[in-house]
């Protein structure tokens, strides 16, 4: 049995889960691949901190892990983009394979990191960076390698999905559902990364890289979170036959353009992705040969994440043992560009608060018509009081810039009471 030494940098929740689950996994890895993983070095920020027992005495200087000749593979689990980049850079320069779960690092600094990996001919393994224990990246890289991908979509943030599920199932408002997520440990005290869509956008950038060989500039990805979602929108969506999910969309537009976005989106209630509840994740895609494919499972947590980390470690160890170069992203510098958000075409849900007066609906519909935007459905509920009523429109496919012009014109009507709420609609196939 060939034994491969690994070094672990960072021993928080994810690192502890990896170390805890390694012994049982090692038996299976040895049986299936003929290699064994041995932890040779561990680095932590504070070695005096109380933590679960570690198999070896940790050090505080991560450089010692990388320089240790017994360490053949380095696992980076510190998070963030500053120290993590320095660790990744040093690992690749030392020509040691890098395993990471750090989606922010890859999404925000991958344009620096992946060329370095190619230059040093050293692979980066990052299955755990997207959708936890769901093997979606390996599915893209291996199982669907013969397919031209016509598009991807995903629920790839468990916290937001839990919040929206509670709003749909229990009738909770956003603030109540968010607090429940925090009480259960799904949401951090600082909920910005999850609730404002940033975490999902990190993962969407990585999916774009694997699917289309193009890593978009992270600051150019349109991102909307779920803070603006109100319980009435959840109810109106249900009446129209939809559910609301925070959805990442990645799809080619023409020969050299890609659309990548994250936004709360209405999905048909009958679609399989609409039934992904709680903190679960799902990624769907359409291959020209495979047709629709959906991966579903736990998207976070130490056990689910360590499952993906151990799969990467097993692959890296096998490649080291066989002296194989491992997977290098040769097409990571594909010349493509993101479409301008204003050029995005799609269907939309629009809710407008107006005075309850005759003729207002006709005025609003006329403005949509002037922008050549068709209307699929209209809801005009009664009994909202205070002389106002919500008008809910489900629109046909339209250019986003045309919708914005229409909504700006509607806002100027004397009977309009509040800014419009606009949500995406995806029928999916």
Return d(Cα 192, Cα 266) in angstroms, integer.
22
Residues in a beta bridge with 21: none
Return d(Cα 74, Cα 91) in angstroms, integer.
7
Rg, the chain, Cα only: 24
Say what the pLDDT of residue 333 is: 54
Name the catalytic one among 40, 138, 203, 245.
Answer: 203
Say what the pLDDT of residue 386 is: 63
Residue 3 annotated among the catalytic residues of the structure: no
Q: Are 42 and 62 in contact (CB under 8 A)?
A: no
Say what the pLDDT of residue 334 is: 65
Q: Are 159 and 133 in contact (CB under 8 A)?
A: no
Half-sphere exposure of 137 (CA within 13 A, CB side): 29
Say what the pLDDT of residue 298 is: 85
* Orientation of helix 13-33 relative to helix 302-322, angle to 10°: 40
Mean pLDDT in each 10-residue stretch from start to end of the chain (429 residues)? 93 90 92 94 89 88 97 95 96 97 95 93 92 86 90 95 95 94 85 95 94 93 96 96 97 91 97 93 94 89 88 93 77 76 95 90 95 95 73 96 97 92 93
Q: Are 426 and 247 in contact (CB under 8 A)?
A: yes
The pair of structure tokens assigned to 224 is: 């909307």
Domains and CATH numbers, the chain: 2-132+302-322 (3.40.50.720), 145-296 (3.30.360.10), 341-425 (3.30.70.260)
Q: Is the whole-model pTM more than 0.85?
A: yes
């Amino acid at each position: 049995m060939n034994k491969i030494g690994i070094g672990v940098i960072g021993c928080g929740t994810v690192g502890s889960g990896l170390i805890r689950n390694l012994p049982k996994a090692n038996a299976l890895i040895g049986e299936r691949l003929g290699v064994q993983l041995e932890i040779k070095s561990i680095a932590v920020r504070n070695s005096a901190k109380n933590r679960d027992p570690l198999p070896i005495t940790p050090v505080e200087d991560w450089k010692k892990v990388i320089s240790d000749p017994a360490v053949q593979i380095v696992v980076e689990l510190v998070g963030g983009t500053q120290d993590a980049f320095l660790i990744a850079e040093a690992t690749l320069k030392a020509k040691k394979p890098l395993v990471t779960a750090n989606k922010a690092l890859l999404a925000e600094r991958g344009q620096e990191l992946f060329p370095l990996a190619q230059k040093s001919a050293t692979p980066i393994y990052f299955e755990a960076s997207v959708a936890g224990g769901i093997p979606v990246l390996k599915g893209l890289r291996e199982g669907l390698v013969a397919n031209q991908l016509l598009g991807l979509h995903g629920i790839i943030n468990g916290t937001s999905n839990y919040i929206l599920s509670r709003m749909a199932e229990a009738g909770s408002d956003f603030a109540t559902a968010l607090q429940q997520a925090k009480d259960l440990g799904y949401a951090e005290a600082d909920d910005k990364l999850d609730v404002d869509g940033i975490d999902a956008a990190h993962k969407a950038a990585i999916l774009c890289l694997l699917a289309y060989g193009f890593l978009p500039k992270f600051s150019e990805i349109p991102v909307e979170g779920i803070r603006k979602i109100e319980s009435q929108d959840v109810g109106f969506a249900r009446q129209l036959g939809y559910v609301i999910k925070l959805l990442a969309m990645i799809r080619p537009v023409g020969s050299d353009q890609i659309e990548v976005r994250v936004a709360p989106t209405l999905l048909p209630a009958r679609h399989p992705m609409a039934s992904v509840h709680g903190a679960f994740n799902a990624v769907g895609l359409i291959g020209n040969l495979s047709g629709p494919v959906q991966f579903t499972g736990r998207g976070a947590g130490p056990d689910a994440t360590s499952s993906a980390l151990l799969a990467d470690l097993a692959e890296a160890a096998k490649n080291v043992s066989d002296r194989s170069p491992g997977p290098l992203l040769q097409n990571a510098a594909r010349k493509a560009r993101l479409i301008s958000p204003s050029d995005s075409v799609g269907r939309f849900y629009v809710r407008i608060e107006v005075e309850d007066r005759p003729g207002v609906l006709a005025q609003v519909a006329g403005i949509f018509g002037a922008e050549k935007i068709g209307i699929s459905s209209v809801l005009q509920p009664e009994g909202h009081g205070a002389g106002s009523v919500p008008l809910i429109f489900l629109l046909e496919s339209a250019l986003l810039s045309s919708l914005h012009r229409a909504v700006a014109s509607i806002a100027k009507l004397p009977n309009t009471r509040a800014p419009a709420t606009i949500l995406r609609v995806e029928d999916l196939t």
